[in-house]
Amino acid sequence: MRNLLFEWPGIIYDGRPKRRTAPVLTSPYSLNIPIWQSATHASGLDKDQFRLSLAPKFLLFVSWKVDSMSARVSLREIPSKNIFRKNDVFVLFGELFGRGYANGLVEEARKNGMTILGITVGRRDENNLLRPLTEEELAVAESNLGGRIINIPMMAGFDLDAPPGEPTPTDLLANMTLKSWQTDTLNWEHIEKCRTAGIKRFRDSLDQVMQSLDGMIPDGSNVFFAHTMAGGIPKVKVFLAIANRIYKGQGDRFMSSRALLNSDLGKLILMNFDEVTANTFQYLIEGSARLRTRLEGSGGQARYTAYGYHGTEILIGETYQWQTYTNYTQGYAKMRLERVAETAWDSGIKATVYNCPEIRTNSSDIFVGVELSLFPLLRALNQENGGDWTEAQWKACRDLLQEGATLEELLGKIDHYNASETMQKFRNFEAWPMDNSLELADLMIGTSDSITQMHKDRKALVTDHLSALVLEGTGPLMFYETSAPAGPVIWLNHDIIAKQLVALHCK
């Protein structure tokens, strides 16, 4: 039998089962088993005692379950430990945009008096060459971040890289048309050379960034690296048209996400997603090894976080249930990101991917319907006893609707949507990320459109308000959990987000 205690991250990560993150075994039959039970934690058993205390038959049963199901670790209680003090250093690995998730963490770092440092992905000049920010751009970015930015371009991915004088992947894609892309092929040997060139460029720049950071972080400090990078869609006309159909197309305009994944174009895009979304986290962890060793050798600690997405539990009916946006094409890269954190964790590095709820940001706006899972947050706030403050959130949302449209009617549409057979089929954690379907697109995009039409102004949506709340909730949850993280992959669901918001605003 496999040694579950060490091989299955849902039970024990560092030999110390934690009650505040409840690992849950999930199955297509919705069986939920909190695995170690509170007694082991309450009695303070260490890992060997814990192992011995379990009857062999129980372990066999769990082993069988683990083999046939997948594990999720969700934060269930608000964390409060904090190792970060004034003058410790927070490093944002990615740029900060107005509505982006990273704002939540930056805000906590600021509140705790940390020195905030950032990087830039750089900009492309008229010949597509990567350049640092101009003085003016740098000043704007630094004032937005509230800290210094190391001005070395850290654009990830290899869509615009190639050995000198040779075509980039973007050049190759430029020949594809809407008629030809499904049968067009790519020269994979050449693509591999471009990928190698892109990785070398990124890692060389990362070395320079780390040298600068080394001079900025004193011995004994704690450092918090927050990875926020995700993306990698090559900028070619043909993909814009395809994306419009896959993520926004209904009826005759619908296109299957499987068609994309089966094409060479799709395979290239997945490789680029892996580079930007997942591998950069690994490069960050590896590239900062010397700095980490110096800090740890002088009494400090290093922590790494990254933003994941792997579906979210939201209130459906009376219970919190896992659901997801489909088709989340970046899902393969996000699972790779989880593996990066797990591998680092296995060698003693505290790296944690926080799987966060769907919100509307610059990056997610392309996915019409991704916002539908946000509405039940309003009910979660009620469920977590949000009192007058929750009333005020309901009112703020009501005020965004047209005269005659009610929030109850809107939530009724969401109930109908979630109860539909179509959506139930997509609540399949093991099969994630599933391909889209015409039936799904018609229902999801149709519901999204009909809800948007209930608003007074398409530029001021209920989901803007709710996205800002989710972002606010994730900030302290991620910040404090990271002082003593329960494991390498943690889900932040609507229950804990609502609890955190209620704790912030009602006490």
Ligand X SMILES: NC(=O)c1ccc[n+]([C@@H]2O[C@H](COP(=O)([O-])OP(=O)(O)OC[C@H]3O[C@@H](n4cnc5c(N)ncnc54)[C@H](O)[C@@H]3O)[C@@H](O)[C@H]2O)c1
Contact assessment for residue 292 and residue 213, using Cβ atoms and an 8 Å cutoff:
no
Taking the CA atoms of residue 484, residue 500, residue 357 and residue 234 in that order, the dihedral angle to the nearest 10 degrees is -70
| Least Cβ distance, residue 121 to ligand X (angstroms) | 4
Give the separation between CA 325 and CA 335, rounded to whole angstroms: 15
Bridge partners of 304? 225, 351
Q: Does 358 bind ligand X (CB under 6 A)?
A: yes
What does the DSSP assignment read for 258-271?
Answer: HHHHHSHHHHHHHH
Q: Name which of residues 52 to 91 contact ligand X (CB under 6 A).
A: none
Residue whose CB is nearest to ligand X in the complex, by number? 100
Q: Are 158 and 197 in contact (CB under 8 A)?
A: yes
Task: Name the residue nearer to ligand X (CB basis): 358 or 384.
Answer: 358
Which residue in 13, 309, 322, 328 binds ligand X (CB under 6 A)?
309
Task: Give the chain's count of helices (H) and strands (E).
Answer: 21, 14
With CB under 6 A as the contact rule, the residue among 63, 70, 301, 363 that binds ligand X is 363
Contact between residue 103 and residue 473 where contact means Cβ atoms under 8 Å apart: no
CB of 278 to ligand X, least distance (A): 10
Distances (CA, A) of 345 to 275, 304, 341: 20, 10, 6
Instruction: Please state the length of the chain.
Output: 507
Interacting residue with ligand X among 88, 95, 108, 264 (CB under 6 A) = 95
Picking from 207, 154, 183, the residue whose alpha carbon sits closest to that of residue 265 is 183
DSSP single-letter state for residue 251: G
Stretch that binds ligand X, among 130-138, 170-178, 285-293, 357-365 (CB under 6 A): 357-365
Binding status of residue 359 toward ligand X by CB under 6 A: yes
Taking CB under 6 A as the criterion, the residue among 307, 328, 375, 426 binding ligand X is: 307
Residue span 152-171 as binding mask against ligand X, x where in contact by CB under 6 A, dash where not: ---xxx--------------
The span of 66-74, 225-233, 252-260, 441-449 binding ligand X (CB under 6 A) equals 225-233
Smallest gap from residue 210 Cβ to ligand X (A): 16
Q: In Å, what is the CA distance from 472 to each residue of 76, 103, 165, 296?
A: 17, 8, 47, 31
Residue 90 or 307: which CB sits closer to ligand X?
307
**Residue 229 Cβ vs ligand X, minimum distance, rounded to whole Å:** 4
- Strand ranges across the sheet with 223-227: 33-34, 21-26, 70-75, 489-491, 351-355, 302-308, 223-227, 89-93, 115-120, 148-153
Nearer to ligand X, 114 or 230 (CB): 230
Q: Taking the C-alpha atoms of 455, 461, 465 and 466 in order, what is their torsion angle to the nearest 10 degrees?
A: 90
Among 83, 121, 138, 197, indicate the residue that binds ligand X (CB under 6 A).
121
Interface residue with ligand X among 255, 265, 276, 340 (CB under 6 A) is: 276
Nearer to ligand X, 221 or 364 (CB): 364
Q: How far is the CB of 300 from ligand X (least distance, A)?
A: 25
Q: Please identify, among the stretches 253-261, 354-362, 453-461, 483-491, the one whose residues bind ligand X according to the rule CB under 6 A.
A: 354-362
Q: How far is the CB of 370 from ligand X (least distance, A)?
A: 6
Quote the DSSP letter at residue 419: H
Among 352, 364, 437, 463, binds ligand X (CB under 6 A): 364
Window of 79-87, 254-262, 287-295, 362-370 that interacts with ligand X by CB under 6 A: 362-370
Examine residue 82 and say whether the peptide bond preceding it is cis (omega within 30 degrees of 0).
no
| Min separation Cβ 315 and ligand X, Å | 18
Give the x-and-dash track for 178-207 against ligand X (CB under 6 A). ------------------------------
Among 168, 228, 373, 500, binds ligand X (CB under 6 A): 228
Residue 493 backbone dihedrals phi, psi, to 5 degrees: -100, 175
Residue type, 311: G
Among 8, 101, 283, 479, binds ligand X (CB under 6 A): 101
Residue closer to ligand X by CB (options 108, 358) is 358
Residues 405-464 that bind ligand X (CB under 6 A): none
Q: Which stretch binds ligand X (CB under 6 A): 18-26, 96-104, 239-247, 395-403?
A: 96-104
* Region label for 105, one of left (φ > 0), alpha (ψ between -120 and 50) or beta (otherwise): alpha
Nearest distance from residue 409's CB to ligand X, in Å?
Answer: 25
Contact indicator for 302, 361 with CB cutoff of 8 Å: no
Distance, CA of 299 to CA of 221 (rounded, Å): 7
- Which chain residues interact with ligand X by CB under 6 A? 94-95, 97, 100-101, 121, 155-157, 228-232, 276, 307, 309, 356, 358-359, 361-364
